[in-house]
Structure 1
Amino acid sequence: MLDDAHLKQIVAAFGIGRDRVSAIGAYPHGSRHDFEMRTFAPRCGVAEDPACGSMNAAVGQWLTTTGAV
């Protein structure tokens, strides 16, 4: 799990000034799952949200728009 200190380093390194950071990663072909998603919002009191509805909706739209699924 990503801790607050590491998240702050990522935010500073990439100049992200928002309250939330979301990440998506693909599993290797043939894995049980295709993707894993996480949202981190420590400034909003949510260290990690593994089932963020807005993230899932956005990624779903992106995946269908790009033809990935």
Structure 2
Amino acid sequence: MAKLGNKIGSFISGSFAELILRQKSVREFEIGELIVAGNSMDEYSIFQIKDLFYGSQIPDSSL
């Protein structure tokens, strides 16, 4: 069984129409990019990035 590629982030929330993905700091996403997510080559899903927004987990009071 082949393995999936490098981990680029983690799904942290979402629904059928919208998923929220936390990216790794060394990775950038682009509109139209395809992302493969799953446990193995036998069990995976393909997602396309259609919109991007950026946020921070650092509270404004800490800046």
More strand by share: 2
Tell me whether the two structures share a fold, i.e. TM-score over 0.5. no
Q: Determine which structure has the larger helix proportion and give its number.
A: 1
Q: TM-score, normalised by structure 1?
A: 0.29
**TM-score normalised over the length of structure 2:** 0.31
Higher relative contact order (CA 8 A, sep 6+): 2
